[in-house]
Amino acid sequence: MRSCKFCFVAVLWCWFWWAPSSQANQDEQFEILVLHSYSTDFEWTQDIHHGIHDVLDTQSPSSHIRVEFMDTKNIYHADYLAYLAELYRYKYRDKPPDGVILSDNNAMAFFNRYGRDLFPNAKVVAGGINRAMPPPLHSPVNSVIAEVLEHERTFQHALALRPNASNIYVITDHSTTGLALQEELKDIAQNMAGSATFHYLHGLPMAELMAKVAEFDRRDIVYIGPYFRANNGETYQQSQVTKAVAATSPAALFASWNFQMVTGVMGGQLVSGANIGRQSAMSLLRLLRSEHVASFQANLALSEAVFDYDTLRRFGLSLHRLPPDAIVINQPQTFWQQHKQVIVPALVVITILSLLLLLVWMNLKKQRALNHTNQQMMALDREVIETQQELVATLGEVIEVRSHETRNHVIRVAKISRYLAGKLGYDEPTLDLLEAASPMHDVGKIGIPEEILHKPGKLTPAEYHLMQQHAQIGYQILSNSERPLLVMASKIAHQHHERWDGTGYPQQRSGDDIDPFARITALADIYDAVSSERCYKPAWSEQEVLGYIKENRGAIFEPKLVDVFLSNFDEIRALRNQYL
């Protein structure tokens, strides 16, 4: 009782302090404009955009977000920029933004030219800025987040993996970014004099570049920047050149942007566009809430050492040569990672069963030590039985809370399944077996996360895919025995979501290829489920239920089984009502 009072007081205290601030956040409504330098097909821009939404969608759900893509990789001319300024002035004249996020240098340069005239009262954050400098005193940009590319660390990672490399080939394109990058890399190369000889392949068209790349030695190192434009005017998709170089080069390929991690790239100290987007959005929200934000942010942790497992293996390199904080992508999952969602619940069940056996053994030991009078023996027997019943009930509750369904649901499914099988002519021993096996049809849900099982709304495609795995999990749990009951239960658990027309899961079985008892259990399960109220839906009317079953005769359900169900529906309804 004392602990309950303490919990109640703690809840009131938390509500007192948290509720006002929560309400204040909910009342905040901002007009936010996201101005991207490049187009929607630019992967770096997509990463920044996703990072921005990661923050704004969760921390400021009531804000209205507008997005503009300037496409300055394809066109960057004074007349075009002036046209964009007029367009934005017209679009936002009635509802100017409270805050603006600028991604990359061209958007910042545009805003430095036109921003004060367009949106004089907006708070502005510029993210992902190359060679960034603190904003001038009267700049319309309040805070600049520098895109700090740790090229030298990437070179150090590369040389640690390829210590015998004699040559480092640097590949850059002919864009403004590529020209600036080449100069920056030349400065770094001077600091690394003696490590290897640097060679620069700048702005070469695809065919010429591939001919050069094919001549590299396997021991060399290739470092590639974003490759968008060649010196002859040819343009390429974001990852097109990187993929081609990785496929052609005998030497290992390294990079410094996470969007460059296409097939065949070894890795490097990668800057994450999503991290820049998240930092930009968080900085803007703080500005809009009148919190202090530094005008120049150059020391944020925006990069991480990332390497590709398949490429490391292709070059015969050990993971032990990677830096301690390295992230390895595409690495095969361990047995524990693959099966932990099944193993953890199974260990819980095994532990409870072990405790059950231990307590029973302890009670039996106690029983043998007691006086052998009839009254004492009877009292001790009752204690042992009650202890077993309580532990079994506890085990049942542990399993039941893993699913939306209640104990009465599985009883009703068992009774209706037995009734339908009886009408189909199965003998009594088989009916007994089916009645005992059908309640275990959803045992695999013990391996599904609770946040999915108890989600009140519709599942996302990813969540629904994970939920579908309960059929395979249930089969794995039950299929390790040759006992008739568990053999039947494993087939029911595995196949009760298959459909007569072959569009079910997990094996897309169809027709008579589906186990007959799984077909029976599926109809009983769906009938009771749609007739019952759940946290994520109301109960259907009897007319809706019957209409659904008739509509799916030959689709979900076996036609003959539906006919038996409908012709005996009054008895089935009465049987179900007995266990409501």
Q: Worst-scoring range by mean pLDDT, 394-408, 532-546, 553-567?
A: 394-408
Q: Please report which helix (H) or strand (E) contains residue 573, including its range.
A: helix 569-577
Residues linked to residue 560 through DSSP beta bridges, in sequence order: none
pLDDT band at 306 (very low <50, low <70, confident <90, very high): very high
pLDDT digits 0-9 by tens, 403-416? 545 557 888 898 99
* Domain covering 29-148+274-299, topology: Rossmann fold (3.40.50)
Cα 283 from Cα 276, distance rounded (Å): 11
Amino acid of residue 173: D
Nearest to 57 by CA among 285, 276, 293: 285
Compute the CA torsion angle 419, 425, 427, 428 (nearest 10 deg).
Answer: 20
CB-based contact 100:123 (threshold 8 Å):
yes
Domain boundaries, the chain: 29-148+274-299, 151-273+300-329, 335-399, 402-577
Q: In what order do the strands lie in the sheet with 303-308?
A: 197-202, 167-172, 221-224, 252-254, 265-271, 303-308, 327-329
pLDDT band at 437 (very low <50, low <70, confident <90, very high): confident
- Within 13 Å and on the Cβ side, how many CA atoms surround 255? 29
pLDDT exceeds cutoff 70 at 448: yes
The residue ranking higher by pLDDT, 302 or 117, is: 117
Q: Worst-scoring range by mean pLDDT, 22-31, 123-132, 256-265, 418-427?
A: 22-31
Mode of pairing for the β-strands spanning 265-271 and 303-308:
antiparallel
Span 151-273+300-329 CATH architecture: 3-Layer(aba) Sandwich (3.40)
| CA distance to 88, 100, 223, 288, per residue, from 122 (Å) | 14, 7, 40, 9
pLDDT > 70: percent of the chain: 87
pLDDT > 90: percent of the chain: 49
pLDDT band at 113 (very low <50, low <70, confident <90, very high): very high
Span 402-577 CATH architecture: Orthogonal Bundle (1.10)
Three-state secondary structure readout of 399-448: HHCCCCCCHHHHHHHHHHHHHHHHHCCCCHHHHHHHHHHHHHCCHHHHHC
pTM for the model: 0.49
CA 93 to chain centroid, in Å, comes to 39
pLDDT exceeds cutoff 50 at 393: no
Amino acid of residue 403: S
Q: What is the pLDDT of residue 109?
A: 92
Cα 133 from Cα 295, distance rounded (Å): 10
pLDDT digits 0-9 by tens, 365-380? 877 776 666 665 566 5
Dihedrals φ, ψ of 436, to 5°? -80, -30
Q: Could you tell me how many residues make up the chain?
A: 580
pLDDT digits 0-9 by tens, 4-22? 444 443 444 444 444 444 4
Please give the structure tokens belonging to residue 17.
């302090």
pLDDT exceeds cutoff 70 at 195: yes
Q: Please report which helix (H) or strand (E) contains residue 135, including its range.
A: none
Q: What is the pLDDT of residue 419?
A: 95
Name the one residue in this structure whose structure tokens are 């905040």: 28
pLDDT band at 389 (very low <50, low <70, confident <90, very high): very low
Mean pLDDT over all residues of the chain? 84
Q: Please report which helix (H) or strand (E) contains residue 356, including its range.
A: helix 335-369
Query: Across the chain, which distance is largest between two alpha carbons, in Å?
Result: 106
Whether 29-148+274-299 and 151-273+300-329 share one fold: the answer is: yes
The residue ranking higher by pLDDT, 568 or 274, is: 568
Contacts of 101 (CB under 8 A, 6+ apart): 32, 33, 34, 35, 52, 124, 125, 126, 127, 280, 281, 284
Q: What is the pLDDT of residue 399?
A: 46
With H, G, I as helix, E, B as strand and everything else as coil, classify residue 286.
Answer: helix
Q: What is the pLDDT of residue 145?
A: 92
| CA distance to 220, 290, 333, 444, 495, per residue, from 489 (Å) | 59, 62, 30, 11, 10
| CA distance to 5, 164, 201, 274, per residue, from 193 (Å) | 70, 15, 19, 34
Q: What is the pLDDT of residue 288?
A: 92
pLDDT exceeds cutoff 60 at 63: yes
Residues 2-40 as b/e (b if ≥16 CB within 10 A, e otherwise) read eeeeeeeeeeeeeeeeeeeeeeeeeeeebbbbbbbbbee
CB-based contact 255:226 (threshold 8 Å):
no
Per-position DSSP letters for 92-115, written without gaps between them: TSSS--SEEEEESHHHHHHHHHHH
Q: What is the pLDDT of residue 23?
A: 41
Q: What is the pLDDT of residue 61?
A: 54
Cα 510 from Cα 534, distance rounded (Å): 29
Name the one residue in this structure whose structure tokens are 């079910």: 504
The residue ranking higher by pLDDT, 59 or 135, is: 135
Q: Please report which helix (H) or strand (E) contains residue 252, including its range.
A: strand 252-254
CB-based contact 550:567 (threshold 8 Å):
no
Q: Worst-scoring range by mean pLDDT, 10-19, 287-296, 520-529?
A: 10-19
Please give the structure tokens belonging to residue 272.
């994450």
CB-based contact 252:217 (threshold 8 Å):
no
| CA distance to 91, 315, 387, per residue, from 186 (Å) | 44, 27, 77
Find the distance separating the first CA and the last CA of the chain, reported in whole Å.
34
Residues linked to residue 267 through DSSP beta bridges, in sequence order: 254, 307
pLDDT band at 188 (very low <50, low <70, confident <90, very high): confident
Cα 152 from Cα 158, distance rounded (Å): 10
